[in-house]
C-alpha cells in the first residue's frame, strides 16, 4: 500500500492553478506555489517567485471557498506537543491548511492565539454558506460534493454545489470553466491544455497528487434529488464548471528506500499497489527504488482497468513481472495475491485501512 505506508501521509498543497485567459480553443493559466510543508497554517502563496495577495484573484477566492466547504477536516493545535495536527483525512486537512495560508478575505491574524489561528480563515468562509448535505465520495466517480445555500439569500446568491475529485472524472463531467468571475464554455483544446498540465504535475519529479475543484452553479433542488441511492450522485455531479486544480505532495518516508533495497537483497519482490493515479505511483516507485530512475516500466506498471482488459494468461504474466498497480479496487488486490500464490510465492500485504 502506498499512501501513509510508503509515504508520510502529511499532505501539503504546494502548487495550484486557475484559468487566466481563454482565446478560442486555447487558454493560459495562472500558476501559484505555496510554501510550508506541515499542517501549520502559516505559509505564503507565490506567483513567479513573488508573494501575492490571494483576494486579488476572483478564481482563488472561489477555489478557497470550495476547499473550505467541500471538506470535513480541521486543524488542531496540540499544546502539549507544540504542533498543529490534522483532524480528519490527510487530503482534506491539506486543503484546510491551504485556505488558512490563502486568507482570501484578508482576515486580521495579528494577536490570535495558536488555537484561534488554526481555523480562522476557514470559519470566515463557512459563515457565508450553509452546508445542507454531502454527496459522499465513491470509488466509481472518484469525487464528492456538498450542496450549500447562502446564509444571506439574495437574487444573485443562489444554492450551489461545490465538488472536488480526481481531475479526469471532474473535467470529463465539466461543461464550463471559470475565468475570473465569468463562466466560459470548455472547448476540447482548453480541456487538453488543463489535462496536460495536470499530467505533468502528477508524473514529474514532484509526483503531485492533483485534485480538481469545481462548482455546479444551478443544481437541482434537494427535493428533486434521490439521495438514498448513491448510484444517482454521478447524475447530479454533471454540467460542472471547472474552477482550478491543486497539487499536493505526500513525501516518501525517509526509511523506505533502504527497506526496499534490503528486500531486494533478500530476494523479496516489492510491488506497490495504490488507488492513486499511475503517473504519481510510478514516480514514487522511482524515488524509493522499486523502479530505476530511467527504467522502462512498460509491462511493469498497470492501472486496475488495464489489468482487467488483459486476457487471463496476460494477467498471469503481469503478476509475474509487474511492480506497480495503480487506480486499483480492493477486488484487484485479492486477484493479484491469488495469482502470486498460484506461483507458489509467499505473499504479504502491508498497509492500513481497507488493506
Please give the positions annotated as active site.
1
Q: Do strands 301-303 and 324-326 pair parallel, antiparallel, or not at all (unpaired)?
A: parallel
Distance (Å, rounded) from C-alpha 349 to C-alpha 332?
13
DSSP 8-class letter at 145: E
Alpha carbons 333 and 264: distance in angstroms, whole number? 21
Cell 494477467 -> residue: 315
- Closest CA relative to residue 285, chosen from 242, 315, 325: 325
CA 84 to chain centre: 21
b/e burial code for range 327-336 (CB count within 10 A of at least 16 → b): bbeeebbebb
E strand residue ranges, 24-98: 26-34, 45-47, 50-51, 74-78, 83-87
Find out whether 193 and 26 touch, Cβ atoms under 8 Å: yes
Q: Which of 211, 183, 5 is nearest to 98 (CA)?
A: 211
Rg, Å, the chain Cα set: 21
Q: Ramachandran region of residue 146, left (φ > 0), alpha (ψ -120 to 50) or beta?
A: beta
79 CA to centre of own chain = 29
Amino acid at each position: 500500500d502506498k499512501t501513509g505506508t510508503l509515504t508520510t501521509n502529511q499532505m501539503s498543497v504546494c502548487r495550484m492553478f486557475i484559468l487566466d485567459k481563454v482565446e478560442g480553443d486555447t487558454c493560459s493559466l495562472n500558476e501559484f506555489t505555496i510554501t510550508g510543508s506541515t499542517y501549520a497554517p502559516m505559509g505564503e502563496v507565490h506567483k513567479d517567485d513573488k508573494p501575492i495577495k490571494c483576494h486579488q484573484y476572483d478564481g482563488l477566492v472561489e477555489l478557497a471557498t470550495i476547499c473550505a466547504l467541500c471538506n470535513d477536516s480541521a486543524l488542531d493545535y496540540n499544546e502539549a506537543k507544540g504542533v498543529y495536527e490534522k483532524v480528519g483525512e490527510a487530503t482534506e486537512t491539506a486543503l484546510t491548511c491551504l485556505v488558512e495560508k490563502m486568507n482570501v478575505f484578508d482576515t486580521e491574524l495579528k494577536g490570535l492565539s495558536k488555537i484561534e489561528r488554526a481555523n480562522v480563515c476557514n470559519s470566515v468562509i463557512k459563515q457565508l454558506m450553509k452546508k445542507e448535505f454531502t454527496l459522499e465520495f465513491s470509488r466509481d466517480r472518484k469525487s464528492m460534493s456538498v450542496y450549500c445555500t447562502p446564509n444571506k439569500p439574495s437574487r444573485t446568491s443562489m444554492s450551489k454545489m461545490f465538488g472536488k475529485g480526481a481531475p479526469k472524472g471532474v473535467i470529463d463531467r465539466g461543461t464550463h470553466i471559470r475565468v475570473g468571475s465569468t463562466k466560459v464554455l470548455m472547448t476540447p483544446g482548453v480541456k487538453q491544455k488543463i489535462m496536460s498540465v495536470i499530467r505533468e504535475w502528477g508524473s514529474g519529479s514532484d509526483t503531485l497528487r492533483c485534485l480538481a475543484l469545481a462548482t455546479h452553479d444551478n443544481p437541482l433542488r434537494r427535493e428533486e434529488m434521490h439521495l438514498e441511492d448513491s448510484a444517482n450522485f454521478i447524475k447530479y455531479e454533471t454540467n460542472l464548471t471547472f474552477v482550478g486544480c491543486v497539487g499536493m505532495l505526500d513525501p516518501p518516508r525517509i526509511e523506505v528506500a533502504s527497506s526496499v533495497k534490503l528486500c531486494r537483497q533478500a530476494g523479496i519482490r516489492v510491488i506497490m499497489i495504490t488507488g492513486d493515479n499511475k503517473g504519481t505511483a510510478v514516480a514514487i516507485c522511482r524515488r524509493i527504488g522499486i523502479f530505476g530512475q530511467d527504467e522502462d516500466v512498460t509491462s511493469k506498471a498497470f492501472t486496475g482497468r488495464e489489468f482487467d482488459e488483459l486476457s487471463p494468461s496476460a494477467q498471469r504474466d503481469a503478476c509475474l513481472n509487474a511492480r506497480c498497480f495503480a487506480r486499483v479496487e480492493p477486488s484487484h488486490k485479492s486477484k493479484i495475491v491469488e495469482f502470486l500464490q498460484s506461483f507458489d510465492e509467499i505473499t504479504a500485504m502491508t498497509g492500513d485501512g481497507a488493506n
